């Protein structure tokens, strides 16, 4: 059966390659550079477009967003996410650029949790903790791809019972769509045959200026949240939910990302910038913006909508300039910002946090919309 499935996938990829042979990407990516064999599974690059000219490129290696081409106020198209120009670098560098993270984004402390009186021991990959689902996580897996139409892609992955210690045979589907509203719409669905925990998200790194040689510190950020979940000194969540008022974490009105990022306070010292989960006021209402990012120079804007209770804001504090991305740009500290819709870290061990339990007969559903626009006027 595995050989038949591989043959079917190979035929599908060959047909796709033929159809894409003469097509050019706005981001100057080569489809051919994303076609390889990893453990008898094939990788590829998929191009999604809308009628307005927005283009998103996605690879089935890690279900990753590779590029997002959107216009500035003058109509100039530029790529606004970090990524690499070929599949080899994604495999070699083990960075989360654009990846679908699972089974659990964030840390599960001590790599253990108890569910229905059973204790599960997970693969520890950050000291004694399990971060982003362990290694290899979903970001390093080959997903099965189905191009639905010019602007939609379905990626599927089967995670077997016990993978990295997580219980249950898990079937995951991620739907990427580029809408005519210049949105990147990401929908996650999953089912399990045993009680388990699940927390999926996309880990794209954004810089709305399109210039990754600069930082995002001058870009304006609003986060629709009155509270956040703090860390202890080891970057493990404490279980507290604290108000953002009168702290550098208050983005209820727009502030420049760099305005308070270097203040001498425990939370910022722990992470050397922002890398925290905000507790959204939206309470699952996808009609209300969870966050808004603005680059005044280019005029580009980004609004985030989600049914998730939290938003992780990460200001790429760990990038050091040693990763060479698209267009041979070295990605330096704070060259981008992640806006990850999610449940909270370590929720399986913290009863007061929203539950991440998924049971047989239930369907996991998570939705994130990245809506791009431009400021009015010149």
DSSP at 86:
S
CATH code where residue 287 lies: 2.70.98.10
The residues annotated as belonging to the active site are 203, 340
Q: Please name which of 241, 348, 238, 368 lies closest in space to residue 303, comparing C-alpha atoms.
A: 368
Residue 110 domain-assigned?
A: yes
In a domain, 57, yes or no: no
Q: Classify 268 as helix, strand or coil.
A: helix
pLDDT in tens, the chain (378 residues): 444 444 444 545 554 444 444 466 899 999 999 999 998 999 999 999 999 999 999 999 999 999 999 999 999 999 999 999 999 999 999 899 999 999 999 999 999 999 999 999 999 999 999 999 999 999 999 999 999 999 999 999 999 999 999 999 999 999 999 999 999 999 999 999 999 999 999 999 999 999 999 999 999 999 999 999 999 999 999 999 999 999 999 999 999 999 999 999 999 999 999 999 999 999 999 999 999 999 999 999 999 999 999 999 999 999 999 999 999 999 999 999 999 999 999 999 999 999 999 999 999 999 999 999 999 875
Residue 333 falls within a domain, yes or no?
yes
- Please indicate, yes or no, if residue 310 is contained in any of the structural domains: yes
Give the global pTM: 0.93
Buried b (16+ CB within 10 A) or exposed e, 347-377: bbbbeebeebebeeeeebebbbbbbbbbeee
Q: What is the pLDDT of residue 376?
A: 86
The answer as to whether 77 is a domain residue is no
Residue 49 lies in a domain: no
| 255: three-class secondary structure by DSSP | strand
* Prior bond of 61 cis (ω within 30°): no
| Cis ω for the linkage preceding 273 (within 30 of 0) | no
Is residue 80 assigned to a domain?
A: no
Asked if residue 350 belongs to a domain, the reply is yes
Residue 237, CB-side half-sphere exposure with 13 Å CA sphere = 27
Given a contact cutoff of 8 angstroms between Cβ atoms, the answer to whether 105 and 342 are in contact is yes
Cβ atoms of 197 and 357 closer than 8 Å: yes
> Which residue in this structure is represented by tokens 């189905």?
146
Q: Based on the structure, what is the number of domains in the chain? A: 1
- Host domain of residue 196: 101-138+164-374
Give the whole-angstrom CA distance, residue 37 versus residue 35: 7
Mention every residue, 6+ apart, whose C-beta is less than 8 A from residue 97.
64, 81, 82, 83, 84, 90, 203, 204, 205, 325
Q: Label residues 188-217 b or e (16+ Cβ within 10 Å = b).
A: bbbbbebebbbbbbbbbbbbbbbebebbbb
CA–CA separation, 81 vs 331, rounded Å? Answer: 11
């Amino acid at each position: 059966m595995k050989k038949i499935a591989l043959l079917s996938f190979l035929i599908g990829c060959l047909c796709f390659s033929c159809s894409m042979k003469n097509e050019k990407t706005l981001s100057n990516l080569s489809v051919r550079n994303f076609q390889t064999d990893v453990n008898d599974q094939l990788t590829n690059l998929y191009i999604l477009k809308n009628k307005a000219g927005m283009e998103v490129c996605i690879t089935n290696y890690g279900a990753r967003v590779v590029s997002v081409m959107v216009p500035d106020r003058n109509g100039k198209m530029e790529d606004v996410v970090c990524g690499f120009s070929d599949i080899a670098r994604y495999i070699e560098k083990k960075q989360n650029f654009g990846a679908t993270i699972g089974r659990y984004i964030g840390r599960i402390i001590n790599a253990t949790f108890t569910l229905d009186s059973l204790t599960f021991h997970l693969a520890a990959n950050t000291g004694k903790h399990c971060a982003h689902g362990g290694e290899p996580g979903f970001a390093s897996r080959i997903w099965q791809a189905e191009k639905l139409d010019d602007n939609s892609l379905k990626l599927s992955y089967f995670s077997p019972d016990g993978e990295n210690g997580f219980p249950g045979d898990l079937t995951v589907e991620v739907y990427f769509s580029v809408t005519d509203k210049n949105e990147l719409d990401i929908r996650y669905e999953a089912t399990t045959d045993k009680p388990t925990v699940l927390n999926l998200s996309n880990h794209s790194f954004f810089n709305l200026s399109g210039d990754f040689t600069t930082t995002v510190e001058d870009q304006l950020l609003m986060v629709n949240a009155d509270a956040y979940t703090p860390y202890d000194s080891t970057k493990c969540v404490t279980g507290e939910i604290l108000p953002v008022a009168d702290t550098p974490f208050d983005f209820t009105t727009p502030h420049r990302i760099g305005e308070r990022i270097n203040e001498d306070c425990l939370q910022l010292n722990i992470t050397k910038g922002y890398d925290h989960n905000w507790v959204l006021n939206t309470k699952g209402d996808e009609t209300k913006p969870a966050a808004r990012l603005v680059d005044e120079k280019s005029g580009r804007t980004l609004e985030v909508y989600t049914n998730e209770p939290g938003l992780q804001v990460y200001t790429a504090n760990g990038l050091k300039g040693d990763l060479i991305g698209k267009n041979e740009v070295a990605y330096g500290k704070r060259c981008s910002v992640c806006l990850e819709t999610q449940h909270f870290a370590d929720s399986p061990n913290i009863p007061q946090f929203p539950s991440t339990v998924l049971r047989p007969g239930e369907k996991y559903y998570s939705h994130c919309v990245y809506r791009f626009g431009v400021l009015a006027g010149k």
